[in-house]
Amino acid sequence: MDLIGLVLHLDTRLLGLVAEYGAWVYAILFAIIFCETGLVVTPFLPGDSLLFVAGTVAAGGALDAHGLAALMVLAAFLGNSANYAIGHALGGWFRGPGKRWLNPAHLARAREFYERHGGSAVVISRFIPIVRTYVPFVAGLGSMAPGRFTAYNAAGAVAWVGLLVYGGYFFGNIPWVRQNLSFIIVGIVVASLVPAAVALLQSRRS
């Protein structure tokens, strides 16, 4: 499998990577979560499922659960912070020729979500794939106060990582979970897309 394929399917191959690379897996996970939340051009990277599977792997003793959670919170926090800074500093460029690098539909959806929910959108969007990658960028474009953004960003990072990593950790030792992990990953992805689908339907009706 090529590098891109490996990254996109890292959630299903994590245990093998831990056995092969050991502690370097922490750095790989940090990079994936940072990029998924911090770069508007990489919303396709695994997020929810990767955190859950990492927690499940930690339940088996291959990773340290608390160290993993702390590191992923830091990655999520710094990713959103970088995304906000990019939006704030380069907003004019992205509104002009730079917008060709962005998906207009994703950007419009994130802007609507941000305007509807205000500052709490930074927290809520953590649980919605793609939207979570664009909301901090939109917050930067909209010149949301840095202190206010930082507070919501920290709360969202702790809630998102804590729920998924420790969810995987506490349920990871259940035999049924281990035997059906692939189906659970698909379920997490589908469930995380539901809020975005509902928001899209509501916007079309309005």
Q: 180: which DSSP letter? A: T
pLDDT of residue 22: 81
Summarize the confidence of residues 155-171 as an average pLDDT. Answer: 92
pLDDT of residue 114: 74
Strand locations in 9-166, DSSP E?
A: none
SS3 of residue 155 by DSSP: helix
What residues contact residue 136 under an 8 Å CB cut-off, 6+ apart?
A: 37, 80, 81, 83, 84, 87, 122, 149, 153
Is 50 exceeded by the pLDDT of residue 139?
yes
pLDDT one-digit tens code per residue, 58-112: 988 889 999 999 999 999 999 999 999 988 887 656 555 445 556 666 667 667 7
pLDDT of residue 60: 84
Domain range for 52 is 3-205
Both tokens of 148, joined, read 């206010």
pLDDT of residue 193: 57
User: Longest Cα pair distance anywhere in the chain, in angstroms?
Assistant: 53
Both tokens of 45, joined, read 């990277």
pLDDT class of 12 with cuts at 50, 70, 90: low
What is the count of structural domains for the chain? 1
34, 79 contact by CB (below 8 A): yes
pLDDT of residue 4: 44
pLDDT class of 48 with cuts at 50, 70, 90: confident
| Weakest-pLDDT range from 8-12, 78-82, 167-171 | 8-12
Percent of the chain with pLDDT over 90: 28
More confident residue, 157 or 128: 157
User: How wide is the angle at C-alpha 187 spanned by C-alphas 182 and 188, nearest 5°?
Assistant: 100
